Amino acid sequence: MARLRNKVAIITGGARGMGGATSRLFVAEGAKVVIADVLDDEGGKLAAELGDSALFVHHDVSQEGSWHAVLEKAIAKFGGVDILVNNAGVLLFKSIADTTLADFERVVDINLVGTFLGVKTVGAHMITRRHGSIVNISSVDGMKGANSLCAYNASKWGIRGLTRAAAMEYGHKGVRVNSVHPGGIDTAMGNPFAEARAEANKRYTMVPLQRIGEPSEVAYTSLFLASDEASYLCGAEIAVDGGMLTGQYYVGFPGAPGV
Protein backbone atom coordinates (compact mmCIF):
# COMPACT_ATOMS: atom_id res chain seq x y z
CA MET A 1 0.00 0.00 0.00
CA ALA A 2 1.08 3.61 -0.48
CA ARG A 3 -1.18 5.87 1.54
CA LEU A 4 1.71 8.28 2.08
CA ARG A 5 3.31 8.12 -1.36
CA ASN A 6 5.45 11.19 -2.14
CA LYS A 7 5.14 12.50 1.42
CA VAL A 8 7.94 13.29 3.87
CA ALA A 9 7.50 12.91 7.62
CA ILE A 10 9.47 13.93 10.69
CA ILE A 11 8.77 11.61 13.62
CA THR A 12 10.18 12.62 17.00
CA GLY A 13 11.03 9.85 19.41
CA GLY A 14 11.03 7.81 16.22
CA ALA A 15 13.68 5.28 17.18
CA ARG A 16 11.62 2.88 19.28
CA GLY A 17 8.23 2.16 20.82
CA MET A 18 5.29 3.98 19.25
CA GLY A 19 7.68 6.19 17.31
CA GLY A 20 9.58 3.23 15.90
CA ALA A 21 6.35 1.50 14.89
CA THR A 22 5.22 4.73 13.22
CA SER A 23 8.52 5.11 11.36
CA ARG A 24 8.27 1.57 9.99
CA LEU A 25 4.62 1.92 9.04
CA PHE A 26 5.07 5.26 7.30
CA VAL A 27 7.93 3.91 5.19
CA ALA A 28 5.86 0.83 4.33
CA GLU A 29 3.11 3.22 3.19
CA GLY A 30 5.43 5.08 0.82
CA ALA A 31 6.74 7.97 2.93
CA LYS A 32 10.26 9.24 3.39
CA VAL A 33 10.89 9.47 7.13
CA VAL A 34 13.23 11.50 9.28
CA ILE A 35 13.71 9.58 12.51
CA ALA A 36 14.42 12.29 15.08
CA ASP A 37 15.56 11.04 18.48
CA VAL A 38 18.25 11.29 21.16
CA LEU A 39 18.74 7.49 21.00
CA ASP A 40 21.56 7.44 18.48
CA ASP A 41 22.24 3.69 18.39
CA GLU A 42 18.61 2.66 18.08
CA GLY A 43 17.80 5.43 15.65
CA GLY A 44 20.78 4.67 13.45
CA LYS A 45 19.95 0.97 13.34
CA LEU A 46 16.34 1.63 12.43
CA ALA A 47 17.33 4.05 9.67
CA ALA A 48 19.75 1.45 8.28
CA GLU A 49 16.97 -1.15 8.39
CA LEU A 50 14.59 1.11 6.48
CA GLY A 51 17.17 2.04 3.83
CA ASP A 52 17.05 5.03 1.52
CA SER A 53 13.57 5.99 2.69
CA ALA A 54 14.80 6.95 6.15
CA LEU A 55 17.25 9.39 7.71
CA PHE A 56 18.23 9.45 11.37
CA VAL A 57 18.93 12.82 12.95
CA HIS A 58 19.97 13.32 16.57
CA HIS A 59 17.35 15.68 17.93
CA ASP A 60 16.59 17.19 21.34
CA VAL A 61 13.00 18.39 21.03
CA SER A 62 13.36 20.82 23.93
CA GLN A 63 15.95 22.89 22.05
CA GLU A 64 14.78 25.36 19.41
CA GLY A 65 18.06 25.21 17.51
CA SER A 66 17.75 21.44 17.21
CA TRP A 67 14.34 21.88 15.57
CA HIS A 68 15.76 24.22 12.93
CA ALA A 69 18.59 21.75 12.29
CA VAL A 70 16.33 18.72 11.84
CA LEU A 71 14.02 20.66 9.52
CA GLU A 72 16.97 21.83 7.42
CA LYS A 73 18.31 18.27 7.15
CA ALA A 74 14.88 16.96 6.17
CA ILE A 75 14.55 19.57 3.42
CA ALA A 76 18.10 18.96 2.18
CA LYS A 77 17.58 15.18 2.04
CA PHE A 78 13.98 14.89 0.88
CA GLY A 79 12.97 18.32 -0.42
CA GLY A 80 10.32 19.35 2.10
CA VAL A 81 8.16 18.13 4.98
CA ASP A 82 4.49 17.18 4.71
CA ILE A 83 3.94 15.42 8.05
CA LEU A 84 5.09 15.97 11.62
CA VAL A 85 4.41 13.43 14.36
CA ASN A 86 5.27 14.96 17.74
CA ASN A 87 5.76 11.68 19.56
CA ALA A 88 8.79 12.23 21.82
CA GLY A 89 7.92 12.12 25.50
CA VAL A 90 8.95 11.09 29.00
CA LEU A 91 7.00 9.80 31.99
CA LEU A 92 7.56 10.55 35.68
CA PHE A 93 5.85 8.81 38.59
CA LYS A 94 6.05 11.14 41.61
CA SER A 95 3.54 12.74 43.92
CA ILE A 96 3.18 16.51 43.82
CA ALA A 97 4.96 16.70 47.17
CA ASP A 98 7.92 14.71 45.86
CA THR A 99 8.16 16.38 42.44
CA THR A 100 10.95 18.96 42.35
CA LEU A 101 10.87 22.01 40.14
CA ALA A 102 13.63 20.43 38.05
CA ASP A 103 11.53 17.25 37.67
CA PHE A 104 8.50 19.22 36.55
CA GLU A 105 10.43 21.42 34.15
CA ARG A 106 12.15 18.42 32.51
CA VAL A 107 8.86 16.67 31.75
CA VAL A 108 7.19 19.85 30.50
CA ASP A 109 10.25 20.85 28.44
CA ILE A 110 10.29 17.55 26.56
CA ASN A 111 6.59 16.77 26.31
CA LEU A 112 4.99 20.20 25.92
CA VAL A 113 7.70 22.68 24.97
CA GLY A 114 9.08 20.14 22.50
CA THR A 115 5.66 19.81 20.87
CA PHE A 116 5.22 23.60 20.78
CA LEU A 117 8.59 24.06 19.08
CA GLY A 118 7.73 21.40 16.52
CA VAL A 119 4.35 22.93 15.77
CA LYS A 120 5.95 26.38 15.47
CA THR A 121 9.03 25.44 13.44
CA VAL A 122 7.79 22.73 11.11
CA GLY A 123 4.32 24.27 10.98
CA ALA A 124 5.77 27.50 9.59
CA HIS A 125 7.45 25.50 6.80
CA MET A 126 4.19 23.73 6.03
CA ILE A 127 2.28 27.01 5.87
CA THR A 128 4.64 28.30 3.17
CA ARG A 129 3.70 25.20 1.15
CA ARG A 130 -0.02 25.54 2.00
CA HIS A 131 -0.35 21.92 3.06
CA GLY A 132 0.65 19.59 5.86
CA SER A 133 -0.52 17.38 8.72
CA ILE A 134 0.69 17.62 12.31
CA VAL A 135 -0.11 14.76 14.68
CA ASN A 136 0.54 15.51 18.35
CA ILE A 137 0.80 12.47 20.60
CA SER A 138 -0.85 13.36 23.90
CA SER A 139 -2.25 10.68 26.22
CA VAL A 140 -5.40 9.53 27.95
CA ASP A 141 -3.80 11.40 30.84
CA GLY A 142 -4.34 14.55 28.79
CA MET A 143 -8.06 13.89 29.19
CA LYS A 144 -8.23 12.77 32.83
CA GLY A 145 -6.34 13.03 36.08
CA ALA A 146 -3.98 10.48 37.56
CA ASN A 147 -2.25 10.37 40.92
CA SER A 148 1.56 10.54 40.92
CA LEU A 149 1.58 11.96 37.39
CA CYS A 150 1.26 15.68 38.01
CA ALA A 151 4.00 16.76 35.59
CA TYR A 152 2.95 14.26 32.94
CA ASN A 153 -0.72 15.21 33.32
CA ALA A 154 0.08 18.89 32.99
CA SER A 155 2.21 18.36 29.89
CA LYS A 156 -0.31 16.15 28.13
CA TRP A 157 -3.25 18.43 28.91
CA GLY A 158 -1.09 21.23 27.56
CA ILE A 159 -0.56 19.34 24.29
CA ARG A 160 -4.30 19.01 23.97
CA GLY A 161 -4.79 22.77 24.32
CA LEU A 162 -1.88 23.57 22.03
CA THR A 163 -3.34 21.28 19.37
CA ARG A 164 -6.66 23.10 19.43
CA ALA A 165 -4.99 26.51 19.21
CA ALA A 166 -2.82 25.37 16.32
CA ALA A 167 -5.80 23.84 14.53
CA MET A 168 -7.51 27.22 14.69
CA GLU A 169 -4.47 29.12 13.45
CA TYR A 170 -3.19 26.65 10.86
CA GLY A 171 -6.28 24.97 9.45
CA HIS A 172 -7.26 27.76 7.07
CA LYS A 173 -3.65 27.87 5.88
CA GLY A 174 -3.74 24.29 4.64
CA VAL A 175 -2.21 22.59 7.68
CA ARG A 176 -4.29 20.15 9.72
CA VAL A 177 -3.42 19.64 13.41
CA ASN A 178 -4.87 16.76 15.44
CA SER A 179 -4.02 14.85 18.61
CA VAL A 180 -3.82 11.16 19.51
CA HIS A 181 -4.37 10.00 23.09
CA PRO A 182 -2.87 6.56 23.76
CA GLY A 183 -3.76 4.54 26.81
CA GLY A 184 -1.50 1.78 28.13
CA ILE A 185 0.76 0.69 25.28
CA ASP A 186 3.33 -2.13 25.29
CA THR A 187 6.48 0.01 25.08
CA ALA A 188 9.46 0.73 27.31
CA MET A 189 7.35 3.49 28.88
CA GLY A 190 4.06 1.61 29.20
CA ASN A 191 5.59 -1.75 30.14
CA PRO A 192 8.92 -0.81 31.76
CA PHE A 193 9.59 -4.28 33.17
CA ALA A 194 8.97 -5.95 29.79
CA GLU A 195 6.29 -8.24 31.18
CA ALA A 196 4.91 -10.92 28.90
CA ARG A 197 1.72 -9.77 27.18
CA ALA A 198 -0.53 -12.10 29.21
CA GLU A 199 0.98 -10.79 32.45
CA ALA A 200 0.70 -7.16 31.39
CA ASN A 201 -2.94 -7.68 30.44
CA LYS A 202 -3.79 -8.51 34.06
CA ARG A 203 -3.37 -4.80 34.87
CA TYR A 204 -6.07 -3.90 32.32
CA THR A 205 -9.08 -5.86 33.51
CA MET A 206 -10.96 -2.60 34.20
CA VAL A 207 -10.51 -1.47 30.56
CA PRO A 208 -13.30 -2.60 28.17
CA LEU A 209 -10.88 -4.38 25.81
CA GLN A 210 -9.06 -5.84 28.85
CA ARG A 211 -5.59 -5.77 27.38
CA ILE A 212 -2.58 -3.54 26.86
CA GLY A 213 -2.33 -1.84 23.47
CA GLU A 214 0.29 -2.41 20.79
CA PRO A 215 2.54 0.32 19.35
CA SER A 216 1.25 -0.47 15.87
CA GLU A 217 -2.30 0.39 16.95
CA VAL A 218 -1.19 3.94 17.72
CA ALA A 219 0.90 4.06 14.54
CA TYR A 220 -2.10 3.19 12.37
CA THR A 221 -4.07 6.04 13.95
CA SER A 222 -1.25 8.47 13.20
CA LEU A 223 -1.13 7.09 9.66
CA PHE A 224 -4.81 7.86 9.13
CA LEU A 225 -4.45 11.41 10.46
CA ALA A 226 -1.34 12.00 8.36
CA SER A 227 -2.96 10.71 5.19
CA ASP A 228 -5.31 12.47 2.79
CA GLU A 229 -8.07 10.17 4.06
CA ALA A 230 -8.33 12.49 7.08
CA SER A 231 -8.55 15.62 4.93
CA TYR A 232 -11.51 17.03 6.90
CA LEU A 233 -10.13 16.34 10.37
CA CYS A 234 -8.63 19.32 12.16
CA GLY A 235 -8.54 19.77 15.92
CA ALA A 236 -9.73 16.19 16.44
CA GLU A 237 -8.82 14.15 19.51
CA ILE A 238 -8.62 10.38 19.05
CA ALA A 239 -8.22 8.11 22.06
CA VAL A 240 -6.40 4.85 21.33
CA ASP A 241 -7.00 3.40 24.76
CA GLY A 242 -8.96 0.16 24.59
CA GLY A 243 -12.00 2.06 25.86
CA MET A 244 -10.30 3.31 29.04
CA LEU A 245 -11.93 6.72 28.88
CA THR A 246 -15.35 5.21 28.25
CA GLY A 247 -15.57 4.07 31.85
CA GLN A 248 -14.54 1.38 34.28
CA TYR A 249 -15.42 -2.22 33.48
CA TYR A 250 -16.62 -3.66 36.78
CA VAL A 251 -15.43 -7.12 37.71
CA GLY A 252 -16.40 -8.96 40.88
CA PHE A 253 -19.19 -6.63 41.98
CA PRO A 254 -22.65 -8.07 42.76
CA GLY A 255 -24.63 -8.28 39.54
CA ALA A 256 -21.64 -7.50 37.31
CA PRO A 257 -20.73 -10.11 34.66
CA GLY A 258 -17.48 -11.98 34.89
CA VAL A 259 -14.52 -11.32 32.62
* Structure confidence at residue 254 (pLDDT): 60
Q: At what angle do helices 114-129 and 150-170 cross, to 10 degrees?
A: 10
* Residue 2, in any domain of the structure: no
* Structure confidence at residue 255 (pLDDT): 56
* Structural domain for 186, as ranges: 8-240
CATH number at residue 109: 3.40.50.720
How far apart are alpha carbons 110 and 105 in whole angstroms? 9
* Residue 127, in any domain of the structure: yes
Beta bridge partners of 178: 135
User: Residue 240 in 3-state DSSP?
Assistant: strand
* Structure confidence at residue 88 (pLDDT): 98
Number of folded domains that form the chain: 1
* Residue 246, in any domain of the structure: no
Report pTM.
0.95
Kindly give the confidence (pLDDT) of every residue in the chain, 259 residues in length, as a single tens digit, with 9 standing for 90 and above: 799 999 999 999 999 999 999 999 999 999 999 999 999 999 999 999 999 999 999 999 999 999 999 999 999 999 999 999 999 999 999 999 999 999 999 999 999 999 999 999 999 999 999 999 999 999 999 999 999 999 999 999 999 999 999 999 999 999 999 999 999 998 888 888 888 888 989 889 989 999 999 999 999 999 999 999 999 999 999 999 999 999 988 776 665 555 4
How far apart are alpha carbons 186 and 89 in whole angstroms? 15
* Residue 228, in any domain of the structure: yes
* Structure confidence at residue 16 (pLDDT): 97
152 in active site: yes
How far apart are alpha carbons 142 and 211 in whole angstroms? 20
Which of 152, 170, 204, 249 is an active site residue? 152
* Residue 250, in any domain of the structure: no
Q: Using an 8 Å Cβ cutoff, are 33 and 57 in contact?
A: no
* Residue 256, in any domain of the structure: no
Q: pLDDT digits over 240-259, tens only?
A: 999 999 998 877 666 555 54
For residue 47, what are the CA distances in angstroms to 7, 32, 249?
17, 11, 41
Q: Using an 8 Å Cβ cutoff, are 248 and 24 in contact?
A: no
* Residue 255, in any domain of the structure: no
